[in-house]
Amino acid sequence: MSTQTSQATEIALQDVAASKASGPSQDFAEIMSIHSHDRDGHRLIHHWTMTPPSNEDWEMEAGAGDIVAACIPSFFEENKIAIHSIAGQHGEMAKFRSVKSIDGPIRTPRDVTYFVEHDESKERFVLSVETTHHGNIEISMYSPNASMWIAKLCEFAKANNHLRGHTFDLFGKLMDHGNITLDDVILTENQSQVINRHIIGYAKKVLELKERGARGQRGVLLEGVPGCGKSMLLRAIANELEGVSVCIAGPDQICRQGSVDVLKELIEMTAPCVVFIEEIDIFGADRRRGGNPSMAELMQVMDGLRNVPGVLWVGTTNRPEVVETALADRPGRFDRRLKFGPLPDAERSQLVERMILPQRLTPEALELATGFTDDMTGAQVRDLAETLRIISNKEEFDASDVREAWEDCGFKSDQPFGFANAVG
């Protein structure tokens, strides 16, 4: 047996022992086959590059990794790099996945090795994309100039990725909120001013502000009882920020293990951007109340993103009293806190009319409905409108219809969340 074969066998036996210790053992022949393909692959790389190449790896979470991987074909084209051959990993077929973009699906490498040549310098190198057993994306560059090519790919992906200027979630998937705009949301004058000045206005001119000496990072916390329209407002703001990168992290995503690392990578790839964290009280509860261990990581990210063009953090919460004080009450993380709740009479009257469309209310019915819904949230106003449609097929509702619908709803005005009376 040759020295090389003996070493491979020893490595394979070590792998078998390790796998037995941690769980079900792999088949020995399968392990030997993988090592054989690895050796063959290294020989091919050495033969193609015609020099002992240096190797540099770049591992990313799946969402950010897909952003970079999707850019590889256009990176080759932009830099006049010719693809001579494409192979899979470990002797298997090359694997791709379809990633949704605003212009249609992008064929994105998942387990692919590219043998390429730079047209001008005639430098040959190898670029490999591999999905790790953790589900992350690892990009490896085999070239005497591996660091340079990795840096070029990184800068190209930041400037040209398919998420830039659009709204996406923490998995790196594009989101569509329909045609909702700020005109569809009833706001008080103060709420409108804060949103237009400190969210929409700031996001649109963050680069200009940074050039004038601004920090380039800001935060606004939206707080109020459930049903007052915070989630709807976020969607409307996202649609107003056309051309601005917006990442929306729902509570189910931000509470996942490793989510802060994912968020950091997405920000770095798409900044300047706006980050919406919905129901931040679930993730960022006060440490004295057993807050999420990852909350400290989030605060470090909020403090440490000095090398990105700009970030605006927008959080929502139903329970501001339980949010970590160092998060909610510290300028530099959240600089403004904007409260939402039951609307004043004038704005609530507009909301009632808006909710009842395409039907109408007589003037008397509108006045009665506005009075009934004092201290009520938008969700409760909507339920009153829905109940009116259920009990009557009229196109214009009168005061008696409103009174019957209100009694049917059974809301208690003295309860903060206005829960309906139980039906006996």
Closest CA to 330 of 219, 244, 237: 219
pLDDT for residue 292: 61
Tell me which residue of 244, 229, 240 sits closest to 179, measured CA to CA.
Answer: 240
The burial of 112, by beta-carbon neighbours within 10 Å (0-12 exposed, 13-18 middle, 19 or more buried), is given as buried
pLDDT reported for residue 16: 37
In this structure, is residue 170 part of a structural domain?
Answer: no
419: in domain? no
Q: What pTM was computed for the model?
A: 0.79
Q: Partners of 104 in the beta sheet?
A: 101
- CATH code, 67: 3.30.310
* 175 located within any domain: no
186 and 320, same domain (yes or no): yes
d(CA 233, CA 251): 17
- Specify whether 287 is located in the same domain as 373: no
Tens of pLDDT, residue by residue, the chain (424 residues): 444 434 433 443 344 344 444 444 444 344 334 344 455 567 778 888 887 767 899 999 888 899 999 999 999 999 999 999 999 987 789 999 999 999 999 999 999 999 999 999 999 999 999 999 888 999 999 998 999 999 999 999 999 999 999 999 998 999 988 888 888 888 889 999 999 999 999 999 999 998 998 888 899 999 988 778 888 899 999 999 989 999 999 888 888 878 888 999 999 999 999 999 988 877 655 555 555 666 778 888 888 777 888 999 999 988 888 787 777 777 878 899 999 888 888 998 999 999 999 999 999 999 999 999 888 888 889 999 999 999 999 999 999 999 999 999 887 655 444 444 444 3
63 and 119 belong to one structural domain: yes
**Measuring CA to CA, how many Å separate 221 from each of 234, 286, 317?**
12, 15, 8
Number of domains the chain contains: 4
CA separation for the pair 111, 311 (Å, rounded):
33
- Spatial distance between the Cα atoms of 224 and 222, rounded to a whole number of angstroms: 7
Predicted local distance difference test score (pLDDT) of residue 201: 94
In a shared domain, residues 290 and 263: yes
